Structure 1
């Protein structure tokens, strides 16, 4: 029987107290984690959020724990907006959501940063001795990160994508031991790579995945895969592809799986990351089994049950309820009580 793993794509909502406290700290700069002064206060606030995030996931009973990405004010653009060779430009709408991020303008070489690794080290310390089996790292995929950025240094689209991929691979190499890496690639479906980039995008993802021994999931959301980029993505050496079964065209996703196959594992975005309605665990489990029934020729070794999108936009209370629903649904789907 397939393993059913309860997890999330990270990017959790900030608790109300954190929004208020962080906005009140004078001189707050995104990514400011220096010790002493206001930087120290900011660091302590983020540490407190990280502790709450881990506690929430523990109470819910999730199988994989994320750091929460509380510092990622620029959402998936974060790894670039905190880089020393990146200037933050004007405010840009984040996909089709009523949220915004600062345009990262790459003005120099994308050298090693270590920013995300430091966050994961802190989260790993909170998880204790079995952190290696529970910690899930989260990063934007290279195609999405390049899509969200402006290149003012490399001068060539393919070269820029390769540079972003090399940068992310270097960051991953510095991560503490982790069980899973989720590469979030919404741009791969909302602005799919064209004929000049589809193979290169797959190669870029493959390069990042090759930097870790953990299981790698390429999670997409908001729209379904286009067939040609999907076919190229199947060449990437990753463990699972993620499908949005809430907002995207379900039939288009199923067509890709049934026509081209998919990886041995799969990630299913079955819980709405942007709607406050809390799904019943039994309903989520039924959705897991519905997908299984639609792809009769495909047996999955591991099925990741997750939000379809990041839950950043949810009220914290609803988010916490949904975490518990995801965990309980995974348990139900893994038992004979819910027939596959």
Structure 2
């Protein structure tokens, strides 16, 4: 029988009370972020905010708990932005929206950091036995968001990013699922040859963990060749943004098949309109009706994108809607 799992791609909005407390964070030196040398006030605010977002997931009975990535001020670029071998320079638009990040420029070898693993360890303690979900940028997206001034070659740089993320993921504590977020596969689709390298890089990072791995692109649908090559990676599920593009995502599955598990982005991570749980469940049924498969082993119900765009109260309502939708889907399947 299919298991329905409510979850998110992480990168949550800050609780309202924390925004003022952390408003000066952008001016902090990256060394402070890496070493934990933030001021006592900043460190305490992050600890309390992390607890808030984990409590919110537990209170809504979300099936998988993420750390929230509240320190990721540079969003998916964060693992590089806090690295000693990286200089953060000018402000760059984050894809095609009104969010921005500091450009990470790689100037030396990308050795092990452990920043994300430390966050995940803390989240695991707070989650207290709940199914823990890790979140990382996928290697292609992280390379796309960064600038290379050290490796000197596009292929070598992607390999270096994959090596870096592999080592970071290998240090993770025990967790149930890893979401690799790959919006660049849609927004800046790899060309011929690069699509194969991107798939191999994803496979490399996925192999570092003893957990189910979901590659979650968003803001549209993958080009056909990119999708076909992604299926060559040893991953458990591909994510589909059914908010931004239904037709092309359905076509890819109909034409090329799918993994045994699937991640469905059915709630809008950028829109404050909160979906009705029954409507989300009905969308699952509608998608099934269009596909040549009778069932998936696991269906992840999630927002299509990160939720840091949302007001905190709306974010909490989205969590509750996803959790209830998964419960309704489980009841119907039974």
Flag whether TM exceeds 0.5 (same fold). Answer: yes
Tell me if structure 1 keeps the 8 A contact 2:34–2:83. no
Query: Is 1:229 matched with 2:226?
Result: yes
Query: Is 1:290 matched with 2:291?
Result: no
Match of 2:135 in 1: 138
CA distance in 2, matches of 1:273, 1:231: 26
**Alpha carbons of 1:299 and 1:26: their partners in 2 closer, same or farther (altered >3 Å)?**
closer
Within a 5 Å distance, the mapping from 1:175-254 to structure 2 comes to 175-248=172-245, 250-254=246-250
CA offsets 1:143-169 (integer angstroms, 9 cap, x no match): 000000000000010110010001000
Q: How many correspondences in the alignment?
A: 333
- For residue 11 of structure 1, report the CA deviation from its aligned partner: 0.2
CA distance in 1, matches of 2:4, 2:304: 16
CA distance in 2, matches of 1:237, 1:24: 41
CA offsets 1:176-203 (integer angstroms, 9 cap, x no match): 0000000000001111110030100000
CA distance in 2, matches of 1:319, 1:179: 23
Pick aligned residue for 2:326 from 330, 334, 338: 330
- For residue 288 of structure 1, report the CA deviation from its aligned partner: 1.1
Segments of structure 1 that go 5 or more residues without pairing to the other structure are none
CA distance in 2, matches of 1:89, 1:298: 50
Tell me if structure 1 keeps the 8 A contact 2:12–2:306. yes
Q: Secondary structure at the match of 2:62?
A: coil
Tell me if structure 2 keeps the 8 A contact 1:221–1:244. yes
Query: Is 1:52 matched with 2:52?
Result: yes
Segments of structure 2 that go 5 or more residues without pairing to the other structure are none
CA offsets 1:271-309 (integer angstroms, 9 cap, x no match): 000000111100011111111111133521000000000
Query: Is 1:165 matched with 2:134?
Result: no
Query: Is 1:299 matched with 2:300?
Result: no
- For residue 54 of structure 1, report the CA deviation from its aligned partner: 0.7
**Alpha carbons of 1:321 and 1:151: their partners in 2 closer, same or farther (altered >3 Å)?**
same
TM-score in terms of structure 1 length? 0.95
Match of 2:144 in 1: 147
TM-score in terms of structure 2 length? 0.96
Q: Once superposed, which parts of structure 1, at least 4 consecutive aligned residues long, lie more than 6 Å away?
A: none
Tell me if structure 1 keeps the 8 A contact 2:79–2:116. yes
Q: CA RMSD in A?
A: 1.6
